[in-house]
Amino acid sequence: MLPGICRSTVGAVRSVVGVSRRHFLQQSSSLGTVAPKLEDAVTNEDTFAGRALYMDAQSTTPLDPRVLDAMMPYSLAYFGNPHSRTHSYGWESEEAVEKARAQVARLIGADSREIIFTSGATESNNISVKGVGRFYKSRKKHILTTQTEHKCVLDSCRALEGEGFEVTYLPVQSNGIVDLKVFEEAIRPDTVLASVMMVNNEIGVKQPIPEMGKICRAHKVFLHTDAAQAVGKIPVDVNEMNIDLMSISGHKIYAPKGIGALYVRRRPRVRIEALQSGGGQERGMRSGTLPTPLIVGLGEACNISQKEMEYDHKRISALANRLISKVTGQISDVIQNGDPDQRYPGCVNLSFAYIEGESLLMALKSVALSSGSACTSASLEPSYVLRAIGAAEDLAHSSIRFGIGRFTTEEEIDYTAQQCISKVTALREMSPLWEMVQEGIDIKEIQWSQH
Amino acid sequence: MAATMANATRATVLKLYREILRESKKFTGYNYREYALRRTKVAFRENKSLTDEAKIKALIQEAEENLQIIKRQVVLSQLYKDPSLVIEGENAGQR
């Protein structure tokens, strides 16, 4: 008897999801299979006037008006090529680029000469992993990384595997953090680089980078960290943390898209095989004319986030707590993913048991949210980060990431919480899983029939 | 002498404060408008009882620079209007 019920249950869940997706895409009103009342409760009531609120600060942030203001002159009058040495047009731009380089360096406790401008953290990660790997490949051919890294690090590692490197993808514990003992034990005599992200983009957990830095230094392994979600938001010091290479992204800290930086340590020196051939700019590590306006923007954004870090962090923490307590106060079975303490508070990842994250996202049309990384937001596959922390398949499917930033207001938090509460309640109302749980059936015990 | 100096400074600071708030209200974008108002109020309150002359002078200078930035960015925000958000009233962001 039970398997029969189950099959129809699965069918019902599928059709609910299917309907809400179709509905979202076409904004049509013909529904068919699902009782119209419930469907109304989830989608139709909000023929809202106005643009959705932005709650996705991990995928990108808006430009800070102060950043744009600093950039404008370099998009207009001061258009010179910063590499032109023969006239004042070049000198003006070069001066602006060097000022920005110093601003980036100051934020992370580095020397200006250790900063290389790139197109973003993806390029910085590629240069770090492939560049270091290839330079030292005659002596060392092992790379250490984690399963929860950003796609661009994992993919760079895959590329190196194709070139004969060996890569260890370390697992993380259920709180999302790498076990330091496992990390140290994975280091081999031929390990050249360890690449571990500082703050995870999906669940916001902080890896113990200072401790890893010590371990790496002791074993003479270079430590690269993808700090796209960390720089400008939490204090970072490359010397205190023993970091050898670090990736920085502009558009996560209210600077424009298309600009980033790479920190490369000079002492002890880290050598890199450049990926791009050309004029030899940026100490030969990244050829190509520097985009002066974007660089000025990144510099100013670093300058602002250094001044504003304490204020922003305090405020964002308060907003995150407000959101979490409002949502968990009104809805049961909400799980926060990732370590509760070792985290950046602006990234709140919640799983709402017994409903599909994707259908909740579609129901929450008036709030711009994501279930994880923007790179994978087109697929319905559950996030590999949530799988890596051992989240059960159903919880991995029901997660939503709330990204809180400098420009988020209390009013927006309250609206988001209230919307979330009403949509989750409505979706659960029509979820057969939720109904079964209310009847006391343990869902984990059910033998789902194969299709 | 010191008292008149202090009074003059007080008047300058209050004038600046009011002017920054007045300008900030003109941002068409909800988030920028709210941020400028909130951050200005917090910053001025934080430094309300500052006595260090040099520090006060530096902060006045900074506030003046910020006022100029806000004035320019408000003009931009009026040229490229931000659409109003779902939580704003009917005509919010259109002023």
Q: Is the pTM of this model over 0.90?
A: no
Q: Which is more confident, A75 or A371?
A: A75
On the question of pLDDT at B84 being above 80, the answer is yes
Q: How confident is the model at residue A143, as a pLDDT?
A: 98
Judged by a CB distance cut-off of 8 A, whether residue B69 touches chain A is yes
What DSSP element (H or E) covers A167? strand A166-170
Find which of A45, A51, A55 to mutate to test the B interface (most B CBs within 10 Å of its CB): A51
Residues of A at the B interface, defined by Cβ within 8 angstroms? 48-54, 62, 65-66, 68-69, 72, 311, 366, 406-409, 411-412, 415
Q: What's the whole-number mean pLDDT along residues A325-330? A: 96
pLDDT confidence band for A380 (50 / 70 / 90): low
Q: What's the whole-number mean pLDDT along residues B85-89? A: 87
Q: How confident is the model at residue A440, as a pLDDT?
A: 87
Active site residues of A: 375
Give the chain A residue whose CA is nearest to the CA of B93: A50
SS (H, E, C) A239-272: CCCCCCEEEEECCCCCCCCCCEEEEECCCCCCCC
On the question of pLDDT at A50 being above 60, the answer is yes
Burial bucket for residue A370 (CB in 10 Å: 0-12, 13-18, 19+): buried
| Subunit contact A49:B87, Cβ cutoff 8 A | no
Give the chain A residue whose CA is nearest to the CA of B86: A50
Q: How confident is the model at residue A34, as a pLDDT?
A: 44
The two tokens of residue A364 are 């929450």
C-alpha dihedral, A208 to A210 to A216 to A219, nearest 10°: -110
Q: Respond yes or no on whether ipTM tops 0.85.
A: yes
Q: How confident is the model at residue B3, as a pLDDT?
A: 64
Q: How confident is the model at residue A269, as a pLDDT?
A: 96
Q: How confident is the model at residue A3, as a pLDDT?
A: 41
| Subunit contact A66:B35, Cβ cutoff 8 A | no
Q: How confident is the model at residue A177, as a pLDDT?
A: 97
Q: How confident is the model at residue A436, as a pLDDT?
A: 87
Q: What's the whole-number mean pLDDT along residues A35-44? A: 49
- The C-alpha of B35 sits at a distance from chain A's nearest C-alpha, in angstroms, of 6
pLDDT confidence band for A347 (50 / 70 / 90): very high
Buried b (16+ CB within 10 A) or exposed e, A256-265: beebbbbbbb
A53 neighbourhood in chain B, CB within 8 Å: 85-87
B63 neighbourhood in chain A, CB within 8 Å: none
The secondary structure of residue A383, as a DSSP letter, is P
Q: How confident is the model at residue A39, as a pLDDT?
A: 52
- The C-alpha of B91 sits at a distance from chain A's nearest C-alpha, in angstroms, of 10
B73 neighbourhood in chain A, CB within 8 Å: 65-66, 68-69
The two tokens of residue B73 are 């960015």
Least confident of A3-7, A157-161, A203-207, B29-33: A3-7
Q: How confident is the model at residue A444, as a pLDDT?
A: 75
**Pick from A54, A66, A366: CB nearest B69:** A66
Q: What's the whole-number mean pLDDT along residues A54-81? A: 97
Q: How confident is the model at residue A183, as a pLDDT?
A: 98
Q: How confident is the model at residue B95, as a pLDDT?
A: 38
Q: What is the pLDDT of residues A86-99, one digit of tens each?
A: 999 999 999 999 99
On the question of pLDDT at B92 being above 80, the answer is no
Least confident of A5-19, A43-57, A197-211, A250-264: A5-19
How many CB contacts within 8 angstroms connect chain A with chain B? 53
On the question of pLDDT at A376 being above 70, the answer is no
Q: Of A282, A304, A263, nearest to A121 (Cα)?
A: A263
Least confident of A10-14, A246-250, A394-398, A402-406: A10-14
Q: What's the whole-number mean pLDDT along residues A281-300? A: 96
Instruction: Answer whether A240's CB lies under 8 Å from A48's CB.
Output: no
**Pick from B42, B87, B90: CB nearest A53:** B87
Question: What percentage of chain B reaches a pLDDT higher than 90?
Answer: 79
| Subunit contact B83:A53, Cβ cutoff 8 A | no
What DSSP element (H or E) covers A99? helix A88-108
Q: How confident is the model at residue A432, as a pLDDT?
A: 85
| Subunit contact A52:B39, Cβ cutoff 8 A | no
On the question of pLDDT at A26 being above 80, the answer is no
Q: What is the DSSP string of A133-158?
A: HHHTTTT--EEEEETTS-HHHHHHHH
Mean residue pLDDT of chain A comes to 89
